[in-house]
């Protein structure tokens, strides 16, 4: 090997004898390093003291490992290749053999162990194609070595054993390295033996490497000193420094004991470059011809190699151990000078490594951060999605419950309205009939007085006009009947615009749990959830009371100071949603509602309705329970609605004004209804008259027949033969056609609170129809019409 020294000049290279023995504090090396490098080194914290951590300590003792690292430093972009660039090529760049790989021992060792320990999965994805994508230096280098060994770039790491074993099997030196175990599962030392073997094969076989070697011989020529020349065995002991920081190796060359007559020279001197193996010789006699003589050294080389054995021993494994070795061997001027000449380079190399490792840590931290961020943004998106789903289902559940509540409330209200209408309809007829009876009596008395005798004619009680079936008394009662004319509901409609605040589109007085709020709609919009419900529910409560008819409706505000609705029992009309004083309700209202209960009950009291009391002093806690089992509403709710008893737990309340509306509605259909009844009654009357005449005629015929029977001995055909079905039943008595009694209402006690039960309440000949009476069927009347023409007997009426 050629001896050469690195010639990196530093200011202290010449000061080979520094302070002497006093400098045993371990910092003597400072004297050999430039201030600039020292300053920078102090700024950079070296991530790994001495670059190799504990695990690598025994590995560092191995020549194979150190050689692999040195070799990689020489072929990759590294401190070694880049620092030589400037000095040796005058600024030109060294073309590294492996341009794509940036190598440094610290990074390499870190990656080797993270790969073997499987720790790097946090930021390296081993599952994707490792070959192309791996960021791990150990992967990259192994792949590169594989390509170099195979001589092509098609090999992949999963083909490692196939390719490597193939080459090892064909070489006598490394055949014992053939293994079937997965490379990464081998002992770490074994892994580097294999890598060493591969490198050695590459050095011998690979043309690219050979060219690289020739062009960069300086990289592979390590600084070396001879420690012991020509020892007793005829060998040599020397020490050389690898480019690896602080790594000194002792090389011992043994001469194989040989036959002294051997021609093999003690030393081998051969040209390293191939071109120097060819000698050009010109024959002076033949000036135009050149003779090329190829010098054949292979035999010499083989013989030489056969004659020696070389041992390598790692003396120091890194910066610290080199310094230690230095302090122990400073007595030797040779070693002292050798090491002090190395210190500046190694110090710079350490700085380079420190910077690389710092950058690496930064990149790693960023990569980790990105991974975490990616993961967390995925997590956030997932959470958002599930929140959206929850929100959606909650929303539709709420809409559903809200819908059910509204439907339930509407059902209760319309049921109550129907009952009240029936009740009012009955009472209206009652009032009318009372007046009618009085008026008829008066009329009858008048007629009796006038005629002076006998049964008065019924004529005045039946309308004469075909188009207006109402009779004289009807008209009188309708216009002037004292009972009929007075209203059932003793209330006047309020003077101001009573419903101004209660827009018909709103569904007011919803319990807060069911109310759709602006916030909810906004949240739904934020999550992109579509809903047909676009407007928030009004949460206002409106106060308007029959006791204060002059007051316009007003919104009950949260902290209203007014005594108008604070500390008074308040009741809300379920029909018009106006809150009113309980005390201002006419008794007739509660009386009517009480009559609609089944079975008819005592007078309902405020306890039976959802009566509440506003104001702090009378927090009506008991009635603030909510529908269903939902937890108590926020006790902060000051809405009167939320203080009510839940729907269905109290009687539906319809206020006086709403009842007044019902009464007016019924009064509007009263006259048409009366006309229909009167028309029917007249028809019935006419039918009876006609039947009476026919009956009389029949009787006359029968008598005639009897007379004939008596007077004639011969039997003529009997009536029963002519009309057999007519004789099958008993003869009807005259009483079946009793005089129509239009004026009396038997069995109706106006004081008794009883509901109208049936569709037709028979009162004498009269029928009280239902409040939807315009197409009501009246089967008895229809039948009687038919009877007129079929002469059916007996009449079913």
Report the nearest approach of Zn ion to the CB of residue 574 (Å): 8
C-beta separation of 769 from 670 below 8 A: no
- Residue closer to Zn ion, measured from CB, 196 or 579: 579
SS3 571: strand
Q: Which residue is nearest to Zn ion (CB)?
A: 547
Nearer to Zn ion, 502 or 768 (CB): 502
**b vs e for 98-120, b when ≥16 Cβ sit within 10 Å of the residue's Cβ?**
beebbbbbbbbbbbbbbbbeeeb
Q: Are 524 and 391 in contact (CB under 8 A)?
A: yes
| DSSP letter assigned to residue 629 | T
Residue 584 CB, shortest distance to Zn ion, in Å, is 3
Task: Report how far apart the first and last C-alpha atoms of the chain are (Å, whole number).
Answer: 145
Q: How far is the CB of 656 from Zn ion (least distance, A)?
A: 8
Running DSSP on this structure, what letter comes out for residue 554? Answer: E
CB of 503 to Zn ion, least distance (A): 16
Q: How far is the CB of 573 from Zn ion (least distance, A)?
A: 3
CB atoms within 10 A of CB 506: 14
Residue closer to Zn ion (CB basis): 160 or 657: 657
Shortest spacing between CB 494 and Zn ion, in angstroms: 11
Q: Which is nearer to Zn ion, 101 or 584 (CB)?
A: 584
Q: Hey, what are 495's tokens? A: 């003077």
The dihedral region occupied by 747, where left means phi > 0, alpha psi between -120 and 50, and beta the remainder, is left
Least distance (Å) from Zn ion to the CB of residue 471? Answer: 38
Contact 136/108 with Cβ under 8 angstroms? no
Q: Which is closer to Zn ion, CB of 536 or CB of 549? A: 549
Least distance between Zn ion and beta carbon 423 (Å): 16
Closer to Zn ion by CB, 456 or 487: give it: 487
**Composition of the chain by helix, strand, coil, percent to 5:** 50, 10, 40
Handedness of CA 549, 552, 553, 556 (dihedral sign): negative
Nearer to Zn ion, 543 or 793 (CB): 543
How many whole angstroms separate alpha carbon 583 and alpha carbon 777? 44
Q: Which is nearer to Zn ion, 575 or 652 (CB)?
A: 575
Cis? peptide before 599, omega within 30° of 0: yes
Write down the least CB distance from residue 535 to Zn ion, Å: 24
Q: How far is the CB of 500 from Zn ion (least distance, A)?
A: 15
Q: Are 626 and 646 in contact (CB under 8 A)?
A: yes
> What is the closest distance, in whole angstroms, from the C-beta atom of residue 413 to Zn ion in the complex?
10
Question: Is 581 or 643 the residue whose CB approaches Zn ion more closely?
Answer: 581
Work out how close the CB of 487 gets to Zn ion at its nearest, in angstroms, rounded to a whole number. 16
| Paired sense of beta strands 766-768 and 761-763, if any | antiparallel
Query: Can you say whether the dihedral through the CA atoms of 71, 72, 76, 82 is positive or negative?
Result: negative
Question: What is the rounded CA–CA span in Å between residue 4 and residue 730?
Answer: 155
With respect to Zn ion, which residue has the nearer C-beta, 545 or 614?
Answer: 545
Nearer to Zn ion, 568 or 695 (CB): 568
Comparison of 447 and 584: residue with beta carbon closer to Zn ion:
584
**Closest by CA position to 143, among listed 128, 126, 131, 135:** 131
Can you spell out the DSSP letters for 113-139? HHHHTTGGGGTS-SSS-HHHH---HHH
Residue 652 CB neighbours (<10 A): 23
Measured from the CB of residue 609, what is the shortest distance to Zn ion in angstroms? Answer: 13
Residues that bind Zn ion (CB under 5 A): 545, 547-548, 573, 575-576, 581, 584, 655, 658
3-state secondary structure of 763: strand
Gap between the Cα atoms of 577 and 556, Å rounded: 12
Locate 152 and state its tokens.
């092509």
Compute the least distance from the CB of residue 624 to Zn ion, in Å: 23
Question: Closer CB to Zn ion, residue 57 or residue 406?
Answer: 406
Nearer to Zn ion, 69 or 570 (CB): 570
**In the complex, minimum distance from the CB of residue 484 to Zn ion, in angstroms, rounded to a whole number:** 25
Q: Is the Cα dihedral 652, 658, 659, 661 positive or negative?
A: negative
Q: What is the DSSP string of 368-405?
A: HHHHHHHHHHHHHHHHHHHHHHHHHHHHHHHHHHHHHH
> Are 72 and 138 contacting, i.e. CB atoms less than 8 angstroms apart?
no
Query: CB-wise, 545 or 650, nearer to Zn ion?
Result: 545
Nearest distance, CB of residue 405 and Zn ion, angstroms: 19
| Four-CA torsion 187, 188, 191, 193, nearest 10 degrees | -100
Which burial class, exposed, middle or buried, applies to 679 when counting CB atoms under 10 A from its CB (0-12, 13-18, 19+)? middle
* Beta-ladder partners of 566: 614
CB-wise, 206 or 585, nearer to Zn ion? 585
Q: Which element (helix H / strand E) includes 147?
A: helix 137-150
Nearer to Zn ion, 199 or 545 (CB): 545
Q: What angle in degrees, to the nearest 10, is found between the helix axes of 35-43 and 333-451?
A: 30
- Residue 553 beta carbon to Zn ion: minimum distance, rounded to whole angstroms: 12
- Residue carrying structure tokens 């809150």: 579
Q: How near is the Cβ of 685 to Zn ion at its closest, in Å? A: 44
Identity of the residue, 96 or 545, whose beta carbon is nearer to Zn ion in the bound complex: 545
> What tokens appear for 620 in the block?
């009506």
DSSP string, 274-320: GGGGEEEEE-TTSTT-EEEEE---HHHHHHHHHHEEEEEEEEEESHH
| Bridge partners of residue 474, in order along the sequence | none
Which residues share a beta bridge with 240? Answer: 224, 249
């Amino acid at each position: 090997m050629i001896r050469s020294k690195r010639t990196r000049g530093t200011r202290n290279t010449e000061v080979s004898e520094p302070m002497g023995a006093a400098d045993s504090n371990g910092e003597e090396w400072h004297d050999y390093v430039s201030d600039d490098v020292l300053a920078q080194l102090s700024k950079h914290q070296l991530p790994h003291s001495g670059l190799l951590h504990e695990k690598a300590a025994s590995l560092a003792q191995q020549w194979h490992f150190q050689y692999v690292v040195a070799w990689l430093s020489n072929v990759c972009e590294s401190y070694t290749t880049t620092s030589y660039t400037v000095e040796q090529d005058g600024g030109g760049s060294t073309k590294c053999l492996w341009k794509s790989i940036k190598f440094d021992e610290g990074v390499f060792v870190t990656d080797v162990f993270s790969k073997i320990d499987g720790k790097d999965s946090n930021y390296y994805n081993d599952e994707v194609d490792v070959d192309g994508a791996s960021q791990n230096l150990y992967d990259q280098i192994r792949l590169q070595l594989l390509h170099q060994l195979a001589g092509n770039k098609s090999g992949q790491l999963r083909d490692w054993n196939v390719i490597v074993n193939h080459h090892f099997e064909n070489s006598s030196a490394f055949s014992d390295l053939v293994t079937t175990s997965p490379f990464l599962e081998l002992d770490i030392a074994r892994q580097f033996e294999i890598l060493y073997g591969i490198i050695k094969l590459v050095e011998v076989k690979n043309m690219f490497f050979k060219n690289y070697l020739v062009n960069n011989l300086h990289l592979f020529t390590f600084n070396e000193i001879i420690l012991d020349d020509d020892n007793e065995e005829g060998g040599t002991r020397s020490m050389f420094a690898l480019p690896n920081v602080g790594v000194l190796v002792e090389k011992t060359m043994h001469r194989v004991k040989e036959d002294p007559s051997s021609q093999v020279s003690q030393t081998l001197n051969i040209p390293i470059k191939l071109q120097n193996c060819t000698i050009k010789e010109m024959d002076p006699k033949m000036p135009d011809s050149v003779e090329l003589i190829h010098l054949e050294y292979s035999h010499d080389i083989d013989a030489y190699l056969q004659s020696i054995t070389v041992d390598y021993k790692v003396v120091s494994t890194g910066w610290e151990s080199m310094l230690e070795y230095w302090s122990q061997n400073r007595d030797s001027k040779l070693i002292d000078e050798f090491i002090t000449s190395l210190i500046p380079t190694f110090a710079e190399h350490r700085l380079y490594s420190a910077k690389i490792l710092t950058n690496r840590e930064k990149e790693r931290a960023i990569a980790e951060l990105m991974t975490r961020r990616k993961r967390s943004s995925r997590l956030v998106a997932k959470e958002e999605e599930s929140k959206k789903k929850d929100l959606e289902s909650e929303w539709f559940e709420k809409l559903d419950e809200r819908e059910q509540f509204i439907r339930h409330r509407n059902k209760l209200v319309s049921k109550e309205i129907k009952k009240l209408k029936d009740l009012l309809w009955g009472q209206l007829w009652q009032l009318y009939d009372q007046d009618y009876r009085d008026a008829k009596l008066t009329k009858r008395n008048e007629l009796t007085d006038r005629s002076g005798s006998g049964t008065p004619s019924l004529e005045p009680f039946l309308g004469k006009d075909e188009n207006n079936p109402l009779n004289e008394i009807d008209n009188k009662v309708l216009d002037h009947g004292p009972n009929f004319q007075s209203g059932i509901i003793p209330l006047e409609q309020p003077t101001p615009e009573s419903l101004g605040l209660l827009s018909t589109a709103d569904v007011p007085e919803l319990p807060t749990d069911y109310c759709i709020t602006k916030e909810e709609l906004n949240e739904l919009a934020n999550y992109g959830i579509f809903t047909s419900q676009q407007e928030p529910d009004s949460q206002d409560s409106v106060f308007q009371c029959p006791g204060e008819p002059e007051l316009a409706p007003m919104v009950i505000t949260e902290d209203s100071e007014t005594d108008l609705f604070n500390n008074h029992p308040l009741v809300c009309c379920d029909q018009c949603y106006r809150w009113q004083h309980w005390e201002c309700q006419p008794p007739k209202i509660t009386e009517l509602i009480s009559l609609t209960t089944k079975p008819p009950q005592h007078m309902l009291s405020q306890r039976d309705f959802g009566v509440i009391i506003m104001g702090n002093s009378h927090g009506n806690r008991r009635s603030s329970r909510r529908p269903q089992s939902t937890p108590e509403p926020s006790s902060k709710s000051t809405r009167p609605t939320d203080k009510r008893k839940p729907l269905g737990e109290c009687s539906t309340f319809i206020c006086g004004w709403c009842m007044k509306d019902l009464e007016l509605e019924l009064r509007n259909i009263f006259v048409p209804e009366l006309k229909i009844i009167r028309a029917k009654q007249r028809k019935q009357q006419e039918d009876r008259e006609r039947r009476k005449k026919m009956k009389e005629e029949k009787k006359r015929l029968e008598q005639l027949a009897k007379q004939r029977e008596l007077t004639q001995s011969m039997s003529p055909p009997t009536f029963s033969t002519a009309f057999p079905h007519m004789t099958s039943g008993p003869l009807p008595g005259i009483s079946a056609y009793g005089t129509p009694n239009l004026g009396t209402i038997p069995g109706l006690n106006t004081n008794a609170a009883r509901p109208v039960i049936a569709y037709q309440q028979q009162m004498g000949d009269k029928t009280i129809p239902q409040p939807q009476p315009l197409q009501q069927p009246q089967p008895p009347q229809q039948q009687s019409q038919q009877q007129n023409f079929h002469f059916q007997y007996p009449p079913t009426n």
